[in-house]
Structures are given as structure tokens and as C-alpha cells.
Structure 1
Amino acid sequence: MAEWNAEGTPEGETPMLMAPLHLHHEDDEAWFILEGTLGFQIGDETIEANCNEAVIVPHGTPHTFWNPKQEPARYLIIMTKQTKTLIEAIHSTSDRSSETMKKLFAQYGAELL
């Protein structure tokens, strides 16, 4: 589990995705909103979760998330060790090319869509 922040989206701008659209083949993922709001695409559904609400994405489900509001959001992300290791690998590489990212995701049981 990790606590993270998402900056607000300036008025009139498109929200920045906190993660690209992807799925985990083996691992579920969950969020608990501590402050603010997060938007989610989960499969074909788009939802918003507010303070004191939780979202769970089952493995095999395409998903991404963002902060749709101007105010910052603070949230807990609940993930497996494999997903945590993937995130650490993404943050530690300087090569953000599509090919490298796809290989990293595959190495940790996920798929970049």
C-alpha cells in the first residue's frame, strides 16, 4: 500500500492520466480516496470516486485513472508486490519509449494497451 497525491487539473484542460491504459494479468488493484476526487476508466465504464470512497479493479480489466478536479487529490493505492515492483521499475528507467514500457509491463505480468 502507498499513499500518493494527484495534482489538480487546471480549468479547461484535459486531465493528465496517472497511468497509461493497462491491465494486470494476475493482480487486482484498489484505491481509497483520502481527499479530493479521482476519475477512472475501468473497462468500458468511466466513474469518479470521491473522498472516503474506494475503487477495485479486478485483474484482466483495462484501466487508468486521473484527477478530474482543480483541487489536488490524495489517495491510497493497494497493490501486490509484483505491481509495486513494476511501478518502481517504471520510475527508475530513463527510457520511456513505447517499446521499453511494453517490455517492462510484460516482465511484471501486465500489459500496456
Structure 2
Amino acid sequence: MNAYDSLVQQAQKPPMRLFLDLPTWIHAGREETGGSLSLIEQRIPSGFASVWHTHLDEDESFFVIEGELTITIGDRSLVVGPGQYAFGPRGVPHGFRVTGEQTARLLLLTSGPRFADFIAETSDPAEDATPGKPGEPDLARLFAAAERHGLALLGPMPD
């Protein structure tokens, strides 16, 4: 395989995974970027809230393709809709809630590969699970992986 074939192969949509029962795609991570970033796509239903968390050594960016999020970064909240972007610097607690009426589709970009590593470790191939069948997350699995991948899980989103 030559360099062009490698680029074409990377351009194909990756297989769907389920992270917290959410359809998730790891578009880029350690292997695809030489360890420089993570690019994750998710589809998230209205009302879902992420865990309040901090990336210890990576910045996180949010780009909304469809739907609407309320993103809280530190003590500030902002509403982000289609085509809009928000930035969460490393070391600052943050999270989001899907506040629009429709399912949100978003891209999450981190300035290193550890977030993709975390998602890969704590998600399952879609063929091994059924989307839309929410269950209790395996908290021990999440907390152990978070610690290994530079994340601090702080609890539920603040109101």
C-alpha cells in the first residue's frame, strides 16, 4: 500500500461503536494522527447530559453539526447550534447537555490522542450491543479508563 492508499483508507467512515449507549465514531486517534489529536463523532438524544469532567492534558473542542447543546465550561454556559463551535481548555471542568428538541450530532476534537483511547476502551462495537437500549454504565470501567487516559470524572453536570 502506498501513501495515497493509506489516505483513502483513512477517509472512509469508521465502524460505529456504542459509548454510553450512544452511536459513536472514532474518526481519528493515536494511529491515524501520530498521536497529535482525537476526532470523535456522536449522535446524542435530546435531554442527555455528559459527565462533568476535566481533561488534564488535552484541550477539547465541540462542533455542532445538528441539534443544540448547552455547554458549560467552568462557570460559564453557552448555547451552541448547527455550525457553531466551543472550546474547553485543559484543566477546566466542563460538560454539555443536549437542550434542543432534536438529536444532536457533534464532533469532539481533542489536542491529543488520549480521548480517542478512552472512547475506544470504554465503548463496544455496535454489533455487540443495541443502540437505544440504555443501561447502567459500568462506572468502574469508566473511572479506571479515565484515570489511565488523563480524564477526571467529577460527577453529574451542574444545574
- Aligned residues: CA RMSD: 1.8
Partners of 1:100 and 1:2 in 2: CA distance: 20
Question: Residue 46 in 1 paired to residue 77 in 2?
Answer: yes
Q: After TM superposition, what 4+ stretches of structure 1 lie above 6 angstroms from structure 2?
A: none
CA contact (8 A) 1:24 1:61 kept: yes
Question: Residue 2 in 1 paired to residue 40 in 2?
Answer: yes
Partners of 2:107 and 2:143 in 1: CA distance: 25
Q: Secondary structure at the match of 1:21?
A: strand
Query: 5 Å matches for 1:3-42?
Result: 3-8=41-46, 15-17=47-49, 19-42=50-73
Bigger relative contact order, structure 1 or 2 (CA pairs below 8 A, ≥6 apart) = 1
Question: Residue 89 in 1 paired to residue 121 in 2?
Answer: yes
Matching residue's letter, 1:86: F
CA contact (8 A) 2:67 2:101 kept: no
- Per-residue deviation at 1:45? 1.5
1:12 aligned residue: none
Task: Give aligned-pair identity as a percent.
Answer: 23
Matching residue's letter, 1:51: P
- Per-residue deviation at 1:82? 0.6
Question: Where does structure 1 lack aligned partners over 5 or more consecutive residues?
Answer: 9-14
CA contact (8 A) 1:29 1:77 kept: yes
* Residue 92 (structure 2) aligned to one of 61, 76, 90: 61
- Per-residue deviation at 1:101? 2.5
| Structure 1 pair 100–31 and aligned structure 2 pair: CA distance change class (3 A) | same
Question: Where does structure 2 lack aligned partners over 5 or more consecutive residues?
Answer: 1-38, 125-135, 155-159
CA contact (8 A) 1:37 1:69 kept: yes
Query: Between Structure 1 and Structure 2, how many residues are aligned?
Result: 104
Which of the two has higher C-alpha Rg?
2
CA contact (8 A) 1:6 1:66 kept: no
Matching residue's letter, 1:41: T
